[in-house]
Amino acid sequence: MMALFLGLIPVVGLAAEEGKATTDLSGEWKIISVESNGEIKSGAAISMDKVKFDKTKLYLGEGEFAFVMNYKVDASKRPHPVVLSIASSPFGSDTTPHDGLVALNGDEMKLIYAKPGEAAPTEFKAPEGKGYRYMKLKRSE
């Protein structure tokens, strides 16, 4: 079941602000699409489409269906490597890392990550046969 939730989590990248790159994902975001195993879902097919990020955690869902993920972004590389782990969920916590990439461009974010124990993706694609989850997000207004 945790893998189902992880399929809803986004990948993030770089943004420039006055010539400086930033990895601050803080704010509220809407998941525009989710790709997994070569299949893309968007619109009403995404049941939990709102995500909130603070400096170290992302929040998806509410109440008994809420997921909280820890994340850490490596700003020294582009696209930025990101490591996710489950802080809390309806299924408990799991500190097993999910390695991925994140790219931020203005109000748009891309997030991709692998299932635990799998090699991190090297590009923003989630083809059939790979254990990747790729999300595109847009900052909420």
What is the per-residue pLDDT across 38-76, written as a single tens digit (0 to 9) for each? 999 999 999 889 999 999 999 998 888 899 999 999 999
The rounded radius of gyration (Å) of the Cα atoms in the chain is: 14
Domain housing 127: 2-139
Q: Does pLDDT of 16 surpass 50?
A: no
Ramachandran bin of 27, using left for φ above 0, alpha for ψ from -120 to 50, beta for the remaining angles: left
What is the per-residue pLDDT across 103-141, written as a single tens digit (0 to 9) for each? 999 999 999 999 988 899 999 999 999 999 999 999 997
Categorize the per-residue pLDDT at 99 as very low, low, confident or very high, splitting at 50, 70 and 90. Answer: very high
Residue with tokens 């990747």: 132
Q: The pTM is what?
A: 0.82
Residue 98's CB: how many other CB atoms inside 10 A? 26
Residue at 22: amino acid letter: T
Q: Does pLDDT of 18 surpass 80?
A: no
As for how many domains the chain has, the answer is: 1
- Paired with 136 in beta bridges are 33, 110
Angstrom distances, CA of residue 85 to CA of 1, 12, 22, 43, 107: 14, 15, 21, 26, 24
Could you tell me the CATH number of the domain that includes residue 109? 2.40.128
